[in-house]
Amino acid sequence: MINSHQFQQAAKQFRAGRISLKEFTDLVIHDQPARKPNEASASSTGSEAESPGQVAQAAVEPTKILPRAAESHKGDFGRVLTIGGSSEMAGAIGLTSLAALRSGAGLVRAIVPREIQTVVAGWSPSLMTVGIESKNGKIENQGDLDFARHSQWADAIAIGPGMGRSSHLDGWVSEVYRDAKGPMVVDADALNALAGANASLESHAGRRVLTPHPGEFRKLAGLTTTDRQELENRAKQMAAEAAVVIVLKGNRTYVTNGDLDYYNASGNPGMATAGSGDVLTGVIAALLGQGMPALDAAVTGVFLHGNAGDLAAESTGQTSLLATDILGNLSVAFKKQAQVAEKTIGF
């Protein structure tokens, strides 16, 4: 059995949502350690491998959103660094940044081209921004950016929304993907940058969640097929080879770490609208910043993002649904998920 101090620390992690009920029970009663990052979720279901050389096949479920401890402060809930935006797509990084705040991140800092800094800052007084040199409205010259300092500050990074494309960005994004030690969500033009630079997805210093739509995934994988099953099979293989989590967006979004699988049932066709994916990136980044393992954060983020879209469609209808409607309903989606946890756990 663990001692009193260890029990208090485990209880604090449990109330903050950093470990599951099963992990808390294992730690307190059975003296088993909590899982390491990127290992299977405690909410996983399925059978064990029949032999040591066989990979376990299983499904996973969204992680519960647990009540916050009374003594919590903003530093307990993660610092998220968002990177992206351009003069043509200033809204994308704004959506990502605000979604991270709405998803519980304690602090969010956005690195954007200097000419759109005031626009992005205008999304919310709660958002911090850093304007850096740009060319043709895109992040171009990182000479005035101490990225190492910002990366060390962050508990999670989201890169790509609205970034645009350039050969210089391809190389820089590949370096950030490779060298940043913290968990990272890679989306949109950051995915295109990795494909353009022919970057090795296996080379990364921390946990990675890639969130491509089918077109972006085809570029990453070097595929031309549009067959959904073939794309999912390749995503599973790629996730296993590169030790990453892949969120292949679409109807019943598919999430895999190469071992465990999840098909999302929430969401609706109205979410096929500009900016919806940018919101999802912010949700997953916030959950990563709060200490969730990569697979848990991806699965839970996709589920809650879809729930927010369903709530939005109830008031706007599917045809008129906007990404800002999804953003506006994240708070309700998180509240409902927290209420499920309260009923289940008895808080």
pLDDT digits (tens, 9 = 90+) for 253-303: 999 999 999 999 999 999 999 999 999 999 999 999 999 999 999 999 999
Mean pLDDT estimate for the chain: 87
**CA 164, 246, 76 angle in degrees (round to 5)?**
85
Residue-level pLDDT at 234: 98
Confidence band for 20, pLDDT divided at 50, 70 and 90: low
Of residues 53, 8, 43, 9, the one with CA closest to residue 23: 43
Using an 8 Å Cβ cutoff, are 63 and 298 in contact? no
Query: Domains of the chain (ranges plus CATH)?
Result: 1-33 (no CATH), 78-339 (3.40.1190.20)
From CA 321, how far away is CA 266, in angstroms rounded? 15
Q: 79 φ, ψ to 5°?
A: -110, 120
Confidence band for 151, pLDDT divided at 50, 70 and 90: very high
Residue-level pLDDT at 278: 98
User: For residue 83, how many other CB atoms are within 10 A of its CB?
Assistant: 29
Position 289, amino acid: G
- Could you tell me the two tokens for 301? 């983020």
**Is pLDDT larger for residue 25 or for residue 333?**
333
From CA 24, how far away is CA 22, in angstroms rounded? 5
Q: Can you list the positions of beta strands (E) in the chain?
A: 45-46, 58-59, 79-83, 107-113, 128-132, 134-135, 138-139, 156-159, 184-186, 208-210, 245-248, 254-256, 260-263
- Could you tell me the two tokens for 236? 């599973």
Residue-level pLDDT at 12: 60
Percent of the chain with pLDDT over 70: 80
Confidence band for 75, pLDDT divided at 50, 70 and 90: confident
Q: Is the pLDDT at 168 greater than 60, yes or no?
A: yes
Percent of the chain with pLDDT over 90: 71
Give 81's strand partners. 109, 157
Confidence band for 71, pLDDT divided at 50, 70 and 90: confident
User: For residue 208, how many other CB atoms are within 10 A of its CB?
Assistant: 23
DSSP states of 255-285: EESSSEEEE-----GGG-STTHHHHHHHHHH
Q: Is the pLDDT at 50 greater than 50, yes or no?
A: no
Position 16, amino acid: A
Residue-level pLDDT at 8: 56
Q: Is the pLDDT at 144 greater than 90, yes or no?
A: no
pLDDT digits (tens, 9 = 90+) for 302-319: 999 999 999 999 999 999
From CA 206, how far away is CA 61, in angstroms rounded? 23
From CA 11, how far away is CA 232, in angstroms rounded? 38
**Is pLDDT larger for residue 194 or for residue 72?**
194
Using an 8 Å Cβ cutoff, are 75 and 106 in contact? yes
From CA 233, how far away is CA 242, in angstroms rounded? 14
Instruction: Give me the sign of the Cα torsion angle 219, 220, 224, 228.
Output: negative
**Is pLDDT larger for residue 132 or for residue 142?**
132
